[in-house]
Amino acid sequence: MSSNILNLWLHGDPLGEIEQLRNGTTRLRFSSEALNQWGAGTRVLSYSLPLTTRRVQSEALDDYLDNLLPEGAVRTQLEQQYQVRPGDTFGLLRHIGGECAGAVQLTTGGEPQNGHLVPLSEAEVAAIVEDLPTLAAPEGETVSASLGGIQSKVLLTRTADGWAWPAAGAMSTHIIKPEPIDPSVAVPEIIEYEHWAMRLAAAAGLSVAHSELVRFGDRLTLVVERYDRANGQRLHQEDFAQALGIRPGNKYEPGNDVPSRLARIAAGPATESLDPAGFRRALLQLVTFNVIVGNGDAHAKNYSLLLTDGLFSLAPAYDVAPVFYVSNRYSNFGMQLAGQRNLKYLSAAHLVEEATRWGIDEPTARQVVDDTARAVHFALDDVPDDSLPVRVAHSIRKRAAELSA
C-alpha cells in the first residue's frame, strides 16, 4: 500500500480511501461497496460528509480527520514520537488511526485492524497512569489508539482478568483521565468535579456516560466507560465539531454565529433521526443541565451524535463539570444561546428563545427547561457533594431554582 493512501473502514467494512496529495491536502473517495450498500447522499460517516461518487477534497474532510486526534501537548508528543511534522493529520493517523472515536478505522493495509490485547498488571497500569501526560506504551508496544480532546488521558480495555493495553488497533473500552499535576491548571480537582456532575446528570434523568473514581498507584483517575463500545462492538459516533465541519481550534462558538451551532444541529442531524422532536427536546435538556451546573467547557467537541444506519441520535453526556463556579477562565458557555454566551447572564429566557429557533414551540421549551431545572434541584439531595466547595453546590442549587421560577 502506498504511503500516501489510508484505507477507511466503518464497522470493519470498506468505506473508502483517503489520499494525501503532494501539496499535503487530503482527498477522500468512497468505495463502490459503500455506495452500493448505502447509496449516494447517505450520511453514514458524518453529517458533514455524505456519500458521493465524486472525490471529496474539502475543509469538512480536513476538520473531520483533525477532530479524530488529540489536541495540544498530547498531539505534539505523539508527533514527536512518530517523527511526524507538526500539523500533519494524515501522517499521524497512519500510526494511531486503527482505534478512533466511533466505528471508523484508518489503516495502511488492505484489512481493518483487529489488533491484540496485552494484559497489564496493576503495577504496569499504575506506571502508565503515573507517567501521564507523557503517554508511554508498555515495553515492546506502541500507541496505536486516538481520541480527541486536550485533556491528558489513556485508552485501555477492561477484561474479565483486569486491564489490558489495546495494541495494533484493538478495541479499547475505557478512558482513563488522571488528576492534573500541573499546578497552573485552572481547576486542579477537575476529575472529582466531573465525576460528581455526571452522577448528578444521571440522577436528574439524563443519559450520561458511566464513570468512577479509581486510584492507580499514587494517581487518582476518572475512569469513563466508552459509550461508543458495547458488547465487543464499535458504535459509530461523531462530535458536533465533526458534524458541522469545525476545526478543533474553533470549538468554542463566537457570539455572532447565525444560525447558532445548536440551531444547525437541530436543523440538520435532528431531522435525520427517528424522532426529530424528541431529539431537540433531549438536546435542550442537556444544554439546560450544562447551564445549571456551570459547564463552561460545553463546546462543540463536548457534545456528540450516535450514527446508526444513517440515522442520528444524541449521544450520552460526557465531560461535564461545574468549572464556571470555580474559575473565571470558564465564564463563557461553549455555545451561544440566543446570542448570549456569558454564563453569568444566561437565563431561562435565553434557553427558551434559542429552543424556539430550533423549531420547539415556546410552551414546550419552557416545560423542558422547567422540568430539567426541577429534576436537578431534587437530584442535588440524592448526590453527595462532599468533593465540592460549599459555594459551588450552593450556586448550582440557586441556578436551578432561578431557571424553574
* Active-site residue set: 297
Residue 250 cell numbers, joined = 474553533
Cα 229 off chain centre by: 13
End-to-end CA distance of the chain: 63
Cα 41 from Cα 365, distance rounded (Å):
32
Cα 331 from Cα 342, distance rounded (Å):
6
Considering only CA atoms, which of 49, 47, 8, 3 is closest in space to residue 31?
8
18, 82 contact by CB (below 8 A)? no
Cα 95 from Cα 90, distance rounded (Å):
9
String of DSSP letters for 265-289: HHHTGGGGSS-HHHHHHHHHHHHHH
**Helix spans in 181-273 (H):** 190-203, 240-244, 261-267
Cα 292 off chain centre by: 20
- What CA dihedral angle connects 81, 252, 152 and 140, to 10 degrees? -30
Residues across the chain: 405
39, 297 contact by CB (below 8 A)? no
